[in-house]
Structure 1
């Protein structure tokens, strides 16, 4: 559980998003998507932080394996893991041609999300409702981010790929 919590650390979540964005920008020439990944991740971190500050739910005080500070709801680890897994699905799993491989990869992403949620509860850092709220917030935030992607795609493309290039809308 410590390893899962460490891999899903919020600071690493931001780094994972940057790595995905760099890959999209340079390898795939999907510059709008790279910008979208960064904005979705960093904007989401801000939204989750604001919600934490508004709710101000204290963390569990019993059986904390690794002492945590700050407020409890929503779980930042769970929220950021959800976004990173959504990026992995959109850019790496969804394009898989084989239906069976794509289904197994999708199941693996769901399993990882559940393990992250469970690790945060097991470590005594969150209540179940903190992790469920984080996933719900992640779904809503991702929906908003995809809507913004659709609305702003052409405008952003005019700045990052004015000649057109290989750019094509992904979502």
Structure 2
């Protein structure tokens, strides 16, 4: 997607970065990874406070990565928001496909 849009990175970066800006690959990967980890842990989090804590920690970690990318001036805010939405969408697609495949396998289809 970066090579389709070809959006340059912001000027005056605090840490040099190569490549294009849109969308944020760090945000995308962090979102997919931490949502996947939360998905794996979710069945083992039996109490409400455990699930709330897991959700909050996941959200905070993703938001910290997003903020760091903008703070370091490697991305615009729209880049990290796109990374968040694309990562969430990818995770939803993968989770849905896995649930569908598991359900088909369980019923013998």
Residues 68-93 of structure 1: per-residue CA shift (max 9 Å, x gap): 00010110110000011111110124
- The Cα of 1:105 is off from its aligned counterpart by 1.9
How many pairs are equivalent? Answer: 106
The residue that corresponds to 1:68 in the other structure is 17
Give the alignment's TM-score, normalised by structure 2.
Answer: 0.86
How is 1:1-171 mapped onto 2 (pairs within 5 angstroms)?
51-62=1-12, 64-153=13-102
- Greater RCO (CA < 8 Å, at least 6 residues apart): 2
Residues 115-142 of structure 1: per-residue CA shift (max 9 Å, x gap): 0000000011000000000011112212
5+ residue gaps, structure 2, are none
3-state SS of 1:54 partner: helix
5+ residue gaps, structure 1, are 1-50, 158-167
Q: Post-superposition, which runs of at least 4 consecutive aligned residues in structure 1 deviate over 3 A?
A: 150-155
Kindly report the root-mean-square deviation, in angstroms, between the aligned alpha carbons of the 2 structures. 1.8
3-state SS of 2:62 partner: helix
